[in-house]
A and B are shown apart, each in its own frame.
Chain A
Amino acid sequence: GAVVSQHPSWVICKSGTSVKIECRSLDFQATTMFWYRQFPKQSLMLMATSNEGSKATYEQGVEKDKFLINHASLTLSTLTVTSAHPEDSSFYICSAPRRSSWDYEQFFGPGTRLTVL
């Protein structure tokens, strides 16, 4: 089946630094990818839609200047958490839709655990 990878799988950084998380569709092309954030014991919360070749679309309440998204190719989207603070510590998950026999199927990456000290 289709695979979506994320790198790194976990990262620990100091407060005030920036962290980049990569999301790759390994065996299919994705003009659209989605970024989610998940806090402990909570559901996934959609942060933004990453569009290849154009600006990302952010959900209400998500700071676009803090969470920079770049979808530079049909297989790669990056999420940069700028000036990270402890409250940004979370599990970040990306997904990419791929055409299936009946419709589209969303494939999720394994997630990236961010811990900001």
Chain B
Amino acid sequence: LAKTTQPISMDSYEGQEVNITCSHNNIATNDYITWYQQFPSQGPRFIIQGYKTKVTNEVASLFIPADRKSSTLSLPRVSLSDTAVYYCLVANTGGGNKLTFGTGTQLKVEL
């Protein structure tokens, strides 16, 4: 399983755009990149997933360069409720394949 490296923590203010970068130098050809959000005492929640280039949904964008050795989760105009831990995972997401969580990034959003 590819190992991921993320910043331990980030601080931001409401209304700002937040970009969290994850490095995964040994990503395999069949691996997808997935980001999860976790609030205290809750299970992780899927945010976005991608394989290459750019993916956008209603809550975030995911930027993946051509070499796929890193990825950036972009959260537009964060609010206080976006304060959470964000995990970047890299795995072949076949139904029977397990996920390995790294340390995650604690995002703190202030007024």
- Judged by a CB distance under 8 angstroms, whether B41 is at the interface is yes
Interface residues on B, range: 20 to 34
Q: Is the CB of A104 within 8 A of B43?
A: no
Instruction: Among A43, A97, A111, point to the contact of B96 (Cβ < 8 A).
Output: A97
Q: Is the CB of B41 within 8 A of A97?
A: no
Q: Is the CB of A31 within 8 A of B98?
A: no
**Beta-carbon contacts under 8 Å, B59-103 to A:** 87, 93-103
Q: What distance in Å separates the Cβ of A22 from its nearest Cβ neighbour in chain B?
A: 14
DSSP majority for the A interface? strand
CA distance A100 to B93 in the complex (A): 11
Interface size on A, residues (CB 8 A): 28
Instruction: Among B44, B45, B96, B103, point to the contact of A32 (Cβ < 8 A).
Output: B96
Interface residues of B (CB under 8 A from A): 32, 34, 36, 41-46, 49, 87, 93-104
